[in-house]
Amino acid sequence: MAHLDNNMILSMITIDKNSPEPLHLQLSKKLKKIIVKHRLEEGYALPSERQLSEEFELNRNTVHRAYETLKNKGFLTSRAGSRGVFISEEAKDLYQPSFPCIGILLTHTLSDFIFKGSQMGLNYLSGVVDRANELNYSTMIVNLPPLATTKKKVLEWRDNLVSRLTGIVYFGDRGIKDDFAFESLVTYKNLPQVFVSAHSQHDNVSTVNADVRTGAMAAAEILRENGHRRVGMILPNLGFKREWGFINASLERQSIIKKCFEKCGIEVDPAWIAEKCNDLQSMTGQLDRILNLHNAPTAFWCQNDFSALCSLDYFKLRQIRIPDDISLFGFDDIEEVAQSDPPLTSIRSNNYLIGRSATELVVDLFENGSVGERRKKLVSTSLSHRQSINRVKNELVEI
| Domain annotation covers residue 17 | yes
Closest CA to 383 of 346, 328, 334, 343: 346
pTM of the predicted structure, to 2 decimals: 0.79
Judge if 279 and 150 occupy the same domain: no
**Residue 314 · residue 280 · CB < 8 Å:** yes
Judge if 10 and 111 occupy the same domain: no
pLDDT (tens digit per residue) in 221-251: 999 999 999 999 999 987 767 777 888 999 8
Number of domains present in the structure of the chain: 3
| Domain annotation covers residue 304 | yes
Judge if 29 and 127 occupy the same domain: no
Instruction: State which residues form the domain around 324.
Output: 212-350
Judge if 189 and 241 occupy the same domain: no
| Domain annotation covers residue 111 | yes
| Domain annotation covers residue 183 | yes
| Domain annotation covers residue 295 | yes
Q: What is the pLDDT along the chain (399 residues), one digit of tens a residue?
A: 345 788 889 998 999 999 999 999 999 999 998 888 777 888 999 999 999 999 999 999 999 999 999 999 999 999 887 888 999 988 877 876 667 899 999 877 777 777 665 678 889 999 999 999 999 999 999 999 999 999 999 999 998 898 889 999 999 898 888 999 999 999 998 889 999 999 988 999 999 999 999 999 999 999 999 999 999 999 998 776 777 788 899 989 999 999 999 999 999 999 999 999 999 999 999 999 999 999 999 999 999 999 999 999 999 999 999 999 999 999 999 999 999 999 999 999 999 999 999 999 999 998 887 767 899 999 999 999 999 999 998 654 333
For β-strands 231-234 and 299-302, DSSP reports them as parallel
What is the helix (H) or strand (E) element at residue 361, kind and residue range? helix 351-368
Phi, psi of 325 (to 5 degrees): -95, -35
| Domain annotation covers residue 384 | no
Phi, psi of 253 (to 5 degrees): -60, -45
| Domain annotation covers residue 72 | yes
Judge if 202 and 309 occupy the same domain: no
